[in-house]
Amino acid sequence: MKLLISTLMLTAAINMAAVSITSPSGSLRLDVSTDSLGTPIYSLDYKGKTLVSPSRLGLKADEVAFTDGFSVTGIDTVTVDRTWQPVWGEYANVRDHFRELAVHMKAANPDRYLTVRFRLFDDGLGFRYELPRQDNVNYMTLRDESTQFNFTGDPTLYCIPGDYDTDEYLWSETKASALPEALASYKRHNESQRSGGNMVQTPMLLQSPDGVYVNIHEAALVGYPAMLINVDPSTAAMTTDLVPDRLGVKAYLQLPFNTPWRTLIVSDDARDILASQLILNLNEPCKIEDTSWIKPMKFVGVWWEMFTGKQKTWAYSDDYRAKPGITDYDALKPNGRHPANTANVKRYIDFAAKHGIDGVLVEGWNQGWEDWASYRKNRQFLFDKAYPDFDVDTIRDYAASKGVKMIMHHETAANAADYERQLDAAFRFMKDNNYDAVKTGYVGAIIPRSEHHTSQWMVDHVRHVIEKAAEYRIMVDSHEAPRPTGLCRTYPNWLAQESARGGEFESMGGNPPSHTCILPFTRLKGGPMDYTPGLFETRLSYYNEGKSDQAGTTIARQLALYLTMPSPMQMACDLPENYERFPDAFQFIKDVPVDWADSRYLEAAPMRYITVARLDKNSDDWYVGAITDENAREAIIDFSFLPKGKKYTATIYEDAPDAHWKDNPQAYRILTRTVTSKTRIKQHIAPGGGTAIRLTPAK
Ligand code: NOJ
Ligand code: CA
């Protein structure tokens, strides 16, 4: 590790004069100063041109304001160059190389102190507010964070509405000036609340008129609400807002306190945005000492059955008056459409064992779904009480005998308060029955009613769940939780999150092919997504229940998603019987790893296409995945990432020449050929299609 430290204690003369640092290669330059009112100001240049023009920094609480009247009392700078090894991820080694500038400030009446710490990387900027322990400020009822990002011109934005409760939206691609119309076109989700203004969520992506891409997000969201961005459509000036509780308070802070990092990932090459590890770098190192029990995995599940239109239910009974733990479930009339039953679960276990899939998820196994289905306001689940037709002991022993891991499901129906009360009992029940992983969910309006899905209380709740899970050596995949901000570095048992519109929407209107061409630029910068790829039966009409939904994909594209949507907890979402219909294509899902030694982004354009190559962490095999939007395209796959002089056998899973997401999604071909680092191919991809390639060293 190289560490260069220089400390400058400056006199009052520093006021007004800018302090500047450049990123290690010099591509980015940061200037920090205070204006005539003593408001902290920063600006950012990229390759010699202004990217962010002078922008204000500040926090405002009921008790005190940290917005103006500041003078700089000192600065610290340091250059850090170090490499760390994630427990799992896209890279075996991650380089963390930045120049840091800490600006210490003081304001009077009453005396108060603020440090803004900046880290300038070659691929972007992170900064946070640090409120040290101080005599005149003990706690803050935070009303506002007025961090500005003053972009100029009329950038193109890739964004979703600034909803407090859900991120399960399709993405807009809009000029900043047309953002109001884009936002007005969104329908409000059931039980969610959206802010006013031209508010969008992060991560968001923009492209400046000069062609520079910027991903705006945050890192290490802990003890603070999620950030929103309010865009001024006429100037492209952006100001942060924070998700409030229902009293309108943004956060209750006790000093000392450091806010999350505000992050800008910057490059004029779209591929760099995908490759950036800036958000992980700004998170704290792993807090779990022994990580040997954290194991990336693939899984199948009793899940898609409930979405296909076959009228299968999570609930055991249709009696909505059933009350978990009170009603005698044995006396209830089963509805006969409940797939979380012992025989069906055994079928999934057999399928997983036969095909070397690590785990089986079962949804609808526990008491409470009758209540949930009715959307009653007092909903509750029991996390240690199974339905009568789900035999916990038999399933535990059967799965163990087949070498398959069971994954538990905890749908809380957003009753987070009750989940906290049950958490210890729930996790003990899991361990007693040999479950090492849980999928959590928060569908509905949050209980306590004072809160939103992404307010400070829920951010704390989810971290509490993750820490508690780590104590029990449990891995977590959370759905409907606050969007990820790289905390999976600190808590690598947090394998995946949903926190975006996932594959489930293929049965609820569909996801256009462009959707998975934007998620890696936006949502995925915070951490892996449980997108649930692997859909082979893409026509919901197949199930003959009057459904007309058509997934925005071909089969070959579903295979490519295992590369373009990397996750250490990756589902094969379709029904076993659908995989049995296409065994040669399913072979790719069986083979594809979920943990990588290296990744190379070969081609990328937001909302249009992505081509990526990855090296398996546990072998010498490389894999390539390429996807396009609703337009056909010829991907250029340049194999120069392969080691020189070595031959590889490429097994190529591609769209057939006449494949099309809309009317011919199941037409694919599997070809093999030999390639070397000198090979370059033009690969046809169908509208809404994709290509997946496995490369094994030739014998
Ligand atoms: C929403 C989740 O995203 C989905 O995966 C799950 O099946 C349902 N909630 C029911 O818990
Ligand atoms: Ca969901």
The per-residue pLDDT for range 132-143, each reduced to its tens digit, is: 999 999 999 999
Q: What is the mean pLDDT of the chain?
A: 95
The protein residue with its alpha carbon nearest to ligand 1, atom 3, reads: 479
Question: What confidence score (pLDDT) does residue 325 get?
Answer: 76
* The ligand 1 atom nearest the CA atom of 409: 11
Which DSSP letter does residue 37 get?
T
Report d(CA 263, CA 202) in Å as an integer. 10
pLDDT (tens digit, 9 = 90+) per residue, 186-209? 987 766 777 778 999 999 999 999
Give residue 49's pLDDT band: very low, low, confident or very high (50, 70, 90).
very high
Question: What confidence score (pLDDT) does residue 536 get?
Answer: 98
Report d(CA 566, CA 333) in Å as an integer. 43
Task: Flag whether pLDDT at 4 surpasses 50.
Answer: no
The protein residue with its alpha carbon nearest to ligand 1, atom 6, reads: 441
Report d(CA 279, CA 298) in Å as an integer. 25
pLDDT (tens digit, 9 = 90+) per residue, 469-524? 999 999 999 999 999 999 999 999 999 999 999 999 999 989 999 999 999 999 99
pLDDT (tens digit, 9 = 90+) per residue, 310-340? 889 999 998 877 777 776 788 889 999 999 9
Q: Which ligand is nearest to the CA of 477?
A: 1
- Which residues in 607-663 belong to E strands, given as ranges? 609-616, 622-628, 633-638, 648-655
Probe residue for ligand 1, chosen from 504, 531, 571 as the CB with the greatest number of ligand atoms within 8 Å: 504
- Active-site residue, from 305, 363, 370, 504: 504
Q: Chain-centre distance of CA 312, in angstroms?
A: 29
Task: Flag whether pLDDT at 1 surpasses 60.
Answer: no
Q: Chain-centre distance of CA 174, in angstroms?
A: 22
Ligand 1 contacts CB of residue 477 (under 6 A): no
Comparing 562 with 377, which gets the higher pLDDT? 562
* The ligand 1 atom nearest the CA atom of 314: 10
Q: Determine phi and psi for 228, rounding to 5 degrees.
A: -120, 165
pLDDT (tens digit, 9 = 90+) per residue, 596-630? 999 999 999 999 999 999 999 999 999 999 999 99
* The ligand 1 atom nearest the CA atom of 307: 7
Probe residue for ligand 1, chosen from 304, 371, 411 as the CB with the greatest number of ligand atoms within 8 Å: 411
Centroid of ligand 1 to alpha carbon of 500 (angstroms): 12
Centroid of ligand 1 to alpha carbon of 168 (angstroms): 12
* The ligand 1 atom nearest the CA atom of 502: 3
pLDDT (tens digit, 9 = 90+) per residue, 18-31? 899 999 999 999 99
Centroid of ligand 1 to alpha carbon of 480 (angstroms): 9
Centroid of ligand 1 to alpha carbon of 441 (angstroms): 6
> Among residues of the chain, what percentage have pLDDT more than 90?
89
Question: What confidence score (pLDDT) does residue 547 get?
Answer: 81
Question: What confidence score (pLDDT) does residue 377 get?
Answer: 57
Question: What confidence score (pLDDT) does residue 8 get?
Answer: 41
Centroid of ligand 2 to alpha carbon of 443 (angstroms): 7
Report d(CA 146, CA 315) in Å as an integer. 46
Structure tokens at 672: 């093999």
Can you list the domains of the chain with their CATH numbers?
3-281 (2.70.98.10), 284-447+457-479 (3.20.20.70), 504-699 (3.20.20.70)
Give how far Cα 306 sits from Cα of 320, 450, 511, Å. 18, 31, 18
pLDDT (tens digit, 9 = 90+) per residue, 212-267? 999 999 999 999 999 999 999 999 999 999 999 999 999 999 999 999 999 999 99
Task: Flag whether pLDDT at 594 surpasses 50.
Answer: yes
Give how far Cα 592 sits from Cα of 59, 527, 600, Å. 47, 19, 16
- Closest among 190, 195, 184, 201 to 245, alpha carbons compared: 195
Task: Flag whether pLDDT at 14 surpasses 50.
Answer: no
DSSP 51-117: EEEEEE--EEESS-EESSSEEEEEEEEEEEEEEE--SSSS-SSEEEEEEEEEEEEEETTTTEEEEEE
> Among residues of the chain, what percentage have pLDDT more than 70?
96
pLDDT (tens digit, 9 = 90+) per residue, 282-314? 999 999 999 999 999 999 999 999 999 888 999
Q: How many residues does the chain have?
A: 699
504 an active-site residue? yes
Give me the amino acid identity at 477: D
Question: What confidence score (pLDDT) does residue 190 get?
Answer: 64
Preceding peptide of 24 cis, ω within 30°:
no
Question: What confidence score (pLDDT) does residue 82 get?
Answer: 98
